A and B are shown apart, each in its own frame.
Chain A
């Protein structure tokens, strides 16, 4: 039956996360952005909430309640607080989800317990490449077989690199397949350089140079002839789409509230159609984008190929998040341009969706 109502449990989870996002992420957002640093207490608090562990397999200490729809609801709420901190909070999913979905029993046993229980973030994922035509499905980074090893060559960027990273899953092209390789953070030939971007400044990001990085045969995710990882990209897009909806909703609500408070010509500016209609369009676009994200997430939960739905969702969100954030800056006028208020931060963050890929996974 076609239905748009989250379950009671999902509503409860979303409500809890919303509270957390409002009281902690939003409160810390500006300071974290200025300092370009994720406050460690946020990560600890998120760990206590069990946001990532909730969906991971029970046998390794997770909650066993995997659902991309729930993941999308959680991601939206977190990003409603702050995108950079949301990405930091969700970062353990970057290695945990691929290992849970595609890992060999040995890889699961070696990595999942720590990913689930650790207070830091022991693993991450490298998908994006520093090129205008960075292609998640067909990376330029290559993996070639040499005896009993794989040799990786290439470059990655936008890799979340929180404290404690010991493994990075590098997506590369092996023969003509999309494959993942578990690379220790101290592997010879791997150079990790911190990066700074226009937005999501509080999230530690790194550029990776892989210069003949050699890993053993069993470092390929899923085993020697590991599975095609294309399905992973859709999980990233759905997660990002939900995050983008959260950013847009934050921008919309700020603009709406400001428009009701700010007076011009003797009345709140929200009473002018030029402003009111802009806000109406924002609300409509946000709801439409959210439903696209939900549909793609639902498709993933059915075990179906969600490539198309995820592509439509992220396509829509790239536009909507940017337009709504820009609209918020515009509604705030000069105040939207100064760093005393949040719209400028939201605009910088929203632009990122144009190049983000797999910065979180549902």
Chain B
């Protein structure tokens, strides 16, 4: 039944994370925006100790499923999107393992995130210097070495979110996309779990960015980096001879590219929710600040009587709510086990663009203080922009939506 009433558990989670956002994140927002590559130790420790186990609630009680995950992401990014990305979690690496991994792999790679004695991170490495949106064009290779039963990775990955934490702290891992046979095109692309500190995986740099500066965006180089055969995500090969082994390994990745792409159907609603959180931070602040200065906001005035500012704010609120509801819908379909590829991309495309515009407008509406570093609004504008780029740019999501609504394949609509 159509309903917009969150469950008790979601309401508790919202309150729990909102408090964390306001009390733990906001006070250090500016500091870690300015100290770009410094480790936000107090936040990482706080999260690991107090929030790793999730929000309080009644287990087994009615749940909003993935919508609750979206509510959590929104609240924390309402606090600070960059610190959210810096949280010690399995993050996208975890999503990839969950989407494409076997039960054994899920247990092996994700258990440490519950049991480790110190904070650890997961990450996913897809983008390369010459392959961003066109992820089928990646050049990183994985060669099977039957002598040692290992995969050998070679290549360079850029823009790897949480890549510093995931590659350098024992217990974490990076999921690396690589091709086992370039002649197979996207069919040859598989994902491999590379544990932190694996020899041959090197952190060679961190990006200096427009926003989300507290988030470590890493460049990772793989030089003859060896991982056990069982780290290829998907069904484990049951080989006999070396040849069969390689052949089997090839087939075992049948969830390979598609599995990795399926990760996006799960992660895009979350990224959209993160975007909504940043947008809300700017919008709520703007409305409060304008209210303090005596600027009215009327929902019952005729459109042609509204001030330009009121009209802008109503527009921003409608846009943000549309983005939020599209996000929840995509998440709710996941909970129901329905395919949500179209809806996930719709949500991500809408949210990314909406909050980019909302935060830019917020800076404008507040005048010089909005532009000033005394307030966080300018930071939120810088932080917001990434939502229209990562996890599939606006244009890639438009392309996915277009293919779906036109019922065109990727070769019919390029």
Contact = CB atoms under 8 A, between A and B. Distances in A.
A280 interface: yes
B300 A233 contact: yes
A10 B2 CA distance: 10
B413 A312 contact: no
B184 interface: no
Interface in B1-26: 1-7, 10
B304 interface: yes
Nearest to B68: A2
Nearest to B324: A291
19 contacts: A2-B332, A4-B328, A4-B329, A4-B332, A10-B2, A133-B302, A133-B304, A135-B305, A273-B413, A276-B406, A276-B408, A281-B398, A283-B405, A288-B323, A291-B325, A298-B2, A302-B5, A312-B317, A315-B315
Nearest to A318: B303
A30 interface: no
Given A256-B405, A315-B315, A230 B399 contact: no
A137 B300 CA distance: 7
Contact of B325 (A7, A137, A292): A292
A315 B318 contact: yes
B99 interface: no
Given A2-B67, A4-B332, A308-B299, A280 B326 contact: no
A330 interface: no
B302 A134 contact: yes
Interface of A: 1-7, 10, 69, 132-137, 230, 233, 256, 259-260, 270-271, 273, 276-277, 279-281, 283-285, 287-289, 291-292, 294-295, 298-299, 302, 307-308, 311-313, 315-316, 318, 354
A9 to B, nearest CB: 10
Contacts, number: 142
Nearest to A252: B405
Nearest to B401: A280
Contacts of B349: 280, 284
B314 interface: yes
Interface in B308-357: 314-315, 317-319, 321-323, 325-326, 328-329, 332-333, 336, 343, 346, 349-350
Contacts of A299: 4
A2 B10 contact: yes
A3 B302 contact: no
Nearest to A289: B322
A277 B329 contact: no
Interface string B289-302: 00000000001111
> Among the interface residues A135, A279, A284, A313, which one has the most CB atoms of the partner chain B within 10 A?
A284
A330 to B, nearest CB: 16
A6 B2 contact: yes
Given A287-B346, A311-B314, A279 B328 contact: no
Given A271-B412, A280-B398, A311 B299 contact: yes
Given A279-B406, A283-B346, A2 B328 contact: yes
> What is the interface residue range for chain B against chain A?
35 or more
Contacts of A307: 299-300
Given A134-B302, A230-B300, A307-B299, A287 B326 contact: yes
Query: Chain B contact residues: over half helix, strand or loop, or mixed?
Result: helix
Contacts of A284: 326, 346, 349-350, 401
Contact of B5 (A1, A233, A311): A1
A246 B226 CA distance: 57
Nearest to B333: A4
A315 B406 contact: no
Interface in B394-414: 395, 398-399, 401-403, 405-406, 408, 412-414
B413 to A, nearest CB: 6
A136 B413 CA distance: 47
Given A2-B4, A4-B328, A69-B2, A315 B314 contact: yes
Given A3-B332, A316-B322, A318-B303, 9 more contacts: A1-B5, A2-B64, A2-B328, A4-B328, A259-B406, A277-B399, A279-B406, A284-B350, A284-B401
B3 A270 contact: no
Contacts of A7: 1-2
Nearest to B311: A315
A3 B333 CA distance: 9
Nearest to A67: B2
Given A2-B64, A133-B304, A270 B329 contact: no
A271 to B, nearest CB: 6
A2 B399 CA distance: 29
A133 B305 CA distance: 6
Contact of A280 (B321, B336, B405): B405
Contacts of B318: 292, 312-313, 315-316
Nearest to A6: B2
Contacts of A270: 406, 408, 413
Contacts of B402: 273, 276-277, 279-280
A6 B1 CA distance: 5
A1 B406 contact: no
B27 interface: no
Contacts of A283: 346, 401, 405
B129 interface: no
B57 interface: no
A273 B62 CA distance: 43
